[in-house]
Structure 1
């Protein structure tokens, strides 16, 4: 018989059975498609040995007038500026208190009780002491994290144990950073857990405490940043990385700056600063559907007037604003049920809101990516796109993604672009995970999907740096698509990658076929190993309902009557491989697990002949 070319269509499809998806690919990890063929994705390298505190959910890259390439790094514990691989703490200060003999030590213990009747601090908050004198053999100058909280006092942990029980410290200055936020969403159940009027009378309600997510944007060379339900902060780049953020409302000339909001955005048109879900003008009451904006080119003036363009508007479709994204000559705003396009029309109206999509959902504040003039986002049960019209995005992995999804961690969902490969990436928490451990990718050039496992908490593809930046749960930033291995922690590790095809018929599927030779078509360009190799596994089946060599594997039948598989190592100059397998259907798997290896698969061919009906 002539050689059979295994030319499979691009993309991974999990919407049907392995047999129904004949002619394509069925499962993968750490693999993408380029020019219609699968290849291993690039590696990642940490940008430095430095680390930050907390889980990062927000990254923003810009360049100052002096040429400094900076990244804002917002975590649940602090806010940093990254420059040259170092993380500089610019977390705003909540309060500065002068305390008298506030420390109480216990002999042989590192736990120190601090008395501060002013309150306002919480578990996990950070405080910095200065001018403290020794007490109990300890001099407690420096930064500490609050370990426990009581009425009028809290505890910290010293770097060593006290030599005696004592109270003292003299006149101490205590500088408190703003309160920290949650790293994961926490279910809340009981009285007061949800909105007023929700649930049945006399029954407990339920809701979820949101994670700490920052929004940020540069205003010229300076930075504006905020977290949900907090004020807007301002960082002055001219003061250098030693300066901390301050509330925007404290700047000279500031007028009616919102005191609370969900997130911010700076428009491309005339640099309006937008606050979404802000408090109403002249009131502390927060309206989750209210949008307020500053005067053009002025981040401090929020008082509407005849001589400026500050203003506000309230959206009507939905109960809260979820996300916003700068698009081409418009700002897109998502509520929990609709999509609006904000368009600049000039004074006196300034901005108008046009309803461009309804009966939709949006998973989170960061679930939207914008590429090539199109907005893509993850909803709560499907994907969407907006290219002038709002429509569902056909997804070959929809059931696979949403059937294994931790719905309590919607806030952890985030999207990012990888422009070099025409990709939109979404990271999300699988059903048993509290961290974003899965990703799904849409390649908008080839219009195909693929997926995998990877733990990340934020992503930024800014164009101002060579590679996409990603934040990890090991509290650092990594350059994605750098090298071919995992260098997240400084120790080089292999990136296991594989792809498995759907089942396809051998010959007409009626008779068995005997496969005796495989001609691989794989290349190892850009591999760093001296002798790169991968493994090809042939997985024949007696029929489409049978299992592979391991009957308990995905797609297996738990049957003892199975057909032998063939595991074939493929090296750089392997031209053909000999084997002995038979079946009616076949699936092929390509994988690698060695350091320094990357690969791209072409169109392998198999040599086979008819081999009876049983």
Structure 2
């Protein structure tokens, strides 16, 4: 006798165990988020029309601001070849004059001078070594209305004031560094300074040109006792968090001559790279930092904690760790999300992201290539950029540019008992949010867990459809819902199932 079974699964995608061991879960999906416990298609994207200069090079950072006169919306896009100003409609090259191009990809160093003394033959290029040469990145921050940026290829700290200069120029007296940020007290922080990967320096307060500590100023430095190079620093909850590849340090303001404290907050929890950490500010002015480490995700909300990830295996069993410096953590605050972008094992460039919703603690996937991302705020919607320099406005419409949005969710295997009998599935009763577009139902059937997969479908349906006739007989069936036309949001649909024979 057929019985109706509600398809009510725990929200979020889950991939840390076998599909059969993931009972009651969605085990795969793309471009969906979970609202009130049910999957819904994410917003689409449209290409942003751009005039002026082409964006050349691989984008690695993006920062937006408004000048003090509020006359424009501005942003800076940093690539391995330079810096480009984008105002929502046009692009202008503001790269420093004479800048030498950086490195597009991380590589294992080779050639003359690489490797250990005595390796291979004298007078020949070394063919390999353990010398990792990172891809070039920019790190940006604002000093009032002055844009500051650090170019990792040459370690120079640059500045740009819109309307005053046409190109970025070096900051007077600034040290060479790997990355930078500005504190709430308006000290400019530089990380990995002057050839020392563990040295952090800061300028005098309100003066980006004074770096030498004197009794008459507030400049200073610390050589941190770290086991790996400094990656980046961020303002979090009234202090600066500084990440190495393996540790997190806190530098909090003091009222004495030391200017800042230094505390190792945690070990074995560093950041993948200069942009692998993201800060989400709450309404009270505090904030939390989320970041991607070499083996896990982490959060700082007063304490450093490992962030449980239900896509842990999906990420860290298929990642190109050589290109770790390209990893990006970016906020999509309108939807309470942090997007973690990274390169899969087979790719040398970012080709996917996992998305964490910090309001409901769910994870999902976005299998798209975006090299860097700019949250909404200065601009009305999130912006993202591809390897080719194409800018897309996200959370806009329901199309992936000009094509169908490849959104879907797939369930765990549905069985009768433990699969000892056939499951006879007669029909599917949709339940969709009012206004949802056309979707497709596909059942992926197997006779046993490791057996070949046979798709049945797709079957189109809309919210107005009463039921979809199936007539399927199988031991295991995974249900997949995919969008076809327009946005969609699933409710709690029903399957009519009965036990069959035991062949």
Instruction: Say whether the fold is shared (TM-score over 0.5).
Output: yes
> Cα RMSD between the aligned structures?
2.2
Q: Judge conservation of contact 1:543–1:583 (CA < 8 Å) in 2.
A: no
Instruction: For 1:499-518, list aligned pairs within 5 A.
Output: 499-506=409-416, 509-518=419-428
Q: Which deviations, in whole Å up to 9, do the C-alpha atoms of 1:212-271 show, x marking residues without a partner?
A: 21111121112111211422111122426xx1111111xxxxxx421x110110112x21
2:444 aligned with 1:521:
no
Q: Distance in 2 between matches of 1:524 and 1:230?
A: 54
Of 469, 492, 499, 1:603 maps to 492
* Partner SS, residue 439 of structure 2: strand
8 Å contact kept, 1:198–1:205? no
Query: 1:354 aligned to 2:263?
Result: yes
* 1:499 Cα deviation from its structure 2 partner: 1.3
Matches within 5 A, 1:31-46: 31-46=32-47
Separation in structure 2 between the aligned mates of residue 43 and residue 392 of structure 1, nearest angstrom? 31
C-alpha distance in structure 1 between counterparts of 2:356 and 2:120, whole Å? 42
Change beyond 3 A, Cα 1:412–1:198:
farther
1:304-453 equivalences under 5 Å are 304-371=213-280, 372=282, 373-453=287-367
Does the residue aligned with 1:425 lie in a helix, a strand or coil? Answer: strand
Deviations 1:435-476 (A, max 9, x none): 100111111112121113111111121522221121212213
Q: Helix, strand or coil for the counterpart of 2:334?
A: helix
8 Å contact from structure 2 (residues 341, 354) kept in 1: yes
Quick one: which of 460, 475, 480 aligns to 2:389? 475
User: Following superposition of structure 1 onto structure 2, how do residues 116-195 of structure 1 map, counting pairs within 5 Å?
Assistant: 177-189=98-110, 192-193=113-114
- CA shift for structure 1 position 342: 0.6
What does residue 485 of structure 1 align with? Answer: 399
Task: Determine the C-alpha separation between the residues in 2 that align with 1:401 and 1:520.
Answer: 32
Report whether the alignment pairs 1:265 with 2:181.
yes
Question: Which position in structure 2 is the counterpart of 1:274?
Answer: 189
In the TM superposition, residue 507 of structure 1 has moved relative to its aligned partner by: 5.6
Runs of 5+ consecutive residues of structure 2 not aligned to the other structure: none
Distance (Å, rounded) in 2 between the aligned partners of 1:55 and 1:364:
16
1:91 aligns with 2:12: no
Q: Where does residue 77 of structure 2 map in the other structure?
A: 73
Aligned twin of 2:477: 586
SS of equivalent residue, structure 2 residue 254: strand
Q: Name the residue aligned to 1:174.
A: none
Contact kept? 1:524, 1:598, Cα under 8 Å: no
1: CA distance between counterparts of 2:328 and 2:88? 25
Tell me what 1:218 maps to: 142
Of 10-19 and 46-55, deviating more is 46-55
Whole-Å separation in 2 of the counterparts to 1:462 and 1:232: 27
| Deviation of 1:197 (Å) | 7.5
Query: How many aligned positions are there?
Result: 489
Give secondary structure in 1 for the equivalent of 2:13.
coil
What SS is found at the alignment partner of 2:159? strand
The separation in 2 between residues aligned to 1:213 and 1:540, in whole angstroms, is 46
What's the CA shift for 1:208?
2.8
Give, in whole Å, the separation in 2 of the partners of 1:199 and 1:374: 47
The C-alpha deviation readout for 1:178-217, integer Å capped at 9, x for no partner, is 11112222222355335x7899999952323222211111
Residue of structure 1 equivalent to 2:459: 568
How far, CA to CA, are the matches of 2:418 and 2:7 in structure 1?
Answer: 15
SS in 2 for 1:205: coil
Distance 1:338 1:436 in 2: 24
How far off its partner does 1:325 sit?
Answer: 1.4
| TM-score normalised according to structure 1 size | 0.76
- Corresponding position of 2:439: 534
User: Which residue is equivalent to 1:14?
Assistant: 15
Gaps of 5+ in 1: 94-176, 250-255, 280-285, 551-564
Question: Which of 12-21 and 496-505 deviates more?
Answer: 496-505
Q: Mark the CA change 1:199 to 1:85 in structure 2 (over 3 Å): closer, same or farther.
A: farther
Q: Deviations over 1:371-412 (max 9, x none)?
A: 252211111122222222222221122122122111221111
Please give the residue correspondences for 1:191-210 in structure 2 after superposition, counting only pairs within 5 Å.
Answer: 192-193=113-114, 205-210=129-134
SS of match in other structure, 1:178: coil
What do residues 318-371 of structure 1 show as CA deviations (whole Å, max 9, x unaligned)? 231012111011111111221101100023110111111012332111111122
Q: Do the aligned residues in 1 keep the contact of 2:50 with 2:91 (CA within 8 Å)?
A: no
Compared CA separation, residues 317 and 199, structure 1 to 2 (3 A):
farther
- Output the CA distance in 1 between the equivalents of 2:255 and 2:363: 41
